[in-house]
A = this chain, B = another copy of it.
Amino acid sequence: MSTQPDTDFLSRAEGISYPNFSFDISYKDPKSRARLGRLETPHGGLDTPNFIFCGTKASIKGLHPQQVKDAGADIILANTYHLMIQPGADIIEKMGGLHKFMNWSGPILTDSGGFQIYSMGEGVNADEIKCRNNKSNRKPSLNKITEEGATFRSYKDGSKLFLSPESAMEIQRKLGADFVVQLDECTAMHVSEQYTEDSMHMSHRWGDRSLKAFDEKHNGKQAVYSVVQGGIFQNLREESAAFSASRPFFGTALGGTFGGNFDQFFEIVSWCVPHIAPDRPVHLLGIGTFRDIFQCVRLGIDTFDCVSPTRVARHGWALMKGAPNERLNLLNAKYKTDQDPLWPELGIAASSQYSKAYIHHLFKAKESLGGQIVAQHNVAVMSLLMTEIRQAIKDETLDQLEKEWIPS
């Protein structure tokens, strides 16, 4: 297979059209880059800024799709890396695609697999990329990355697998999500500038190969996002953002490491945004605290995704407007006899029909219903956050809203 892309149409940003997709910006905040938009897909539309909930293996942990919808979610994502291994893209295609397979009729995004191959391969880098300090004992499963693609081992049975920009597109075509993402190499913070630059250039070439593969089987049902890399280096981030803008991607995703602390994170995002295509939707990969979202909405980010709302639910952490650390820890003994529900106004059973005492009991008794209740609550809280952010952009009250969600 040739690794030299046909650059004829790829060198023009308008080289691929997406007739069944649109992104319309209806309002721009005069004081920041924050904006209101509307994304339309063959599976319906959504207002932006918005949050994409993670259904890694074609399931939002412990929730029926209807419960996810009832909690206000508009769009979800699934992971190419996990699904190519279990159940496999061919099976999902045969079953009519992800929407039908998992019974979610709204928009879906699939990532390219690049992040998981890297983070699961190296074990520690997912935490590093997300500015966490956890140590992981996960065994590296990445074999090698070459110009051709990434060779890695299945997390399931250890078998050898290969993902190229072309096969990542092919797999995502079979999965059938509305939004797909180019394959990239996700670099971590500890690597050198030279490595980061070389890798970024390869990710750009992979971007072109992804576009070409996408275009060859373009059926109007999918739209493809670039990934901006460049690590913690301003010149590389700017170059990568500009490269993305020069290519006919539908949307722009910001990926890779965002540094070692939150200030650096915001700085890196702010380097990218002036150079990306201003009229395309911008997705920030894997970021999801209230604080991150407020700050990045101001930088012009349109969509976010993060596993944390459903992951922390399994630890008994209920996201809460105005709470210290943005959450209540329902395992705390003070909830043992707390008769109050989590948040009745959210309008779902999870947040209104169970006392904190009962949810506390379910966690203490190791009953899975506890995690299910908190997961749906957390989806509802994130959905409300995004709804209120959209209203606040319109009302120019974003600073005030941020103080309500994150009191200092």
Contacts and interface: CB of A to CB of B under 8 A. Distances in A.
Of the four ranges (under 10, 10 to 19, 20 to 34, 35 or more), the interface on chain A belongs to: 35 or more
A104 to B, nearest CB: 11
B339 A95 contact: yes
A355 interface: yes
A213 interface: no
Contacts of A354: 103
A91 B368 contact: no
Interface stretch (A56-64, A160-168, A199-207, A377-385): A56-64
A264 interface: no
B337 A59 contact: no
Contacts of A368: 61-62, 368, 371-372
A150 B337 CA distance: 29
Nearest to A365: B57
A82 B367 contact: no
Given A95-B339, A337-B95, A361 B64 contact: no
A365 B60 CA distance: 12
Copies of this polypeptide in the complex: 2
Nearest to A362: B59
Contacts of A64: 349, 369, 372-373
A66 to B, nearest CB: 6
A91 B361 CA distance: 10
Contact of A336 (B66, B91, B101): B91
A369 B103 CA distance: 12
A86 B365 contact: yes
Contacts of A101: 355, 357-358, 361
A363 to B, nearest CB: 10
Interface in A98-157: 101-103
Interface string A283-321: 000000000000000000000000000000000000000
A87 interface: yes
A403 interface: no
Interface in A52-111: 57-64, 66, 82, 86-87, 91, 94-96, 101-103
A334 interface: no
6 contacts: A57-B362, A59-B367, A61-B368, A64-B373, A95-B357, A368-B368
